[in-house]
Amino acid sequence: MITLSELSRYLQNRRQATLSEMSIYFGSSQDAVRGALDLMVSKGRVRKLPVAEAPCGRGCSASCECVEVFEWVGPTSSSSH
C-alpha cells in the first residue's frame, strides 16, 4: 500500500510524474494513487498539470494515459529543516 510520505519523496525527487508511472512504481492501482494525489493536491503540495503542459509533447487526447501528470509544488525535504 502506498503512503503519502513515500509518494511525497517520489515526487520531490522526480518533480513530475504520470499517474501511470506512479502506479507501476508503487505497485498500486491508479485509483489508489489518484486518491493519495488528490489529498496532496488539496493540501497544496502537488498540482495536476493541464494537458498542454504534459511532458510527452505528443498533443495528448483525453484518452491518453499521460494526461494525468502531477508535479510537486510543496516544500522540498531540504528546505523544511
Percent of the chain with pLDDT over 70: 74
Residue 75, C-alpha cell as written in the block: 516544500
15 φ/ψ sector (left φ>0, alpha ψ -120 to 50, else beta): left
Contact 43, 37 (CB under 8 A): no
Residue 72 has pLDDT above 80, yes or no: yes
Per-residue pLDDT, averaged over 35-46, amounts to 96
Residue type present at position 5? S
Q: Domain 4-75 belongs to what topology?
A: Arc Repressor Mutant, subunit A (1.10.10)
d(CA 7, CA 32): 11
Per-residue pLDDT, averaged over 44-48, amounts to 96
Whole-number pLDDT of residue 22: 96
Quickly list H helices, 1-81.
4-14, 19-26, 30-42
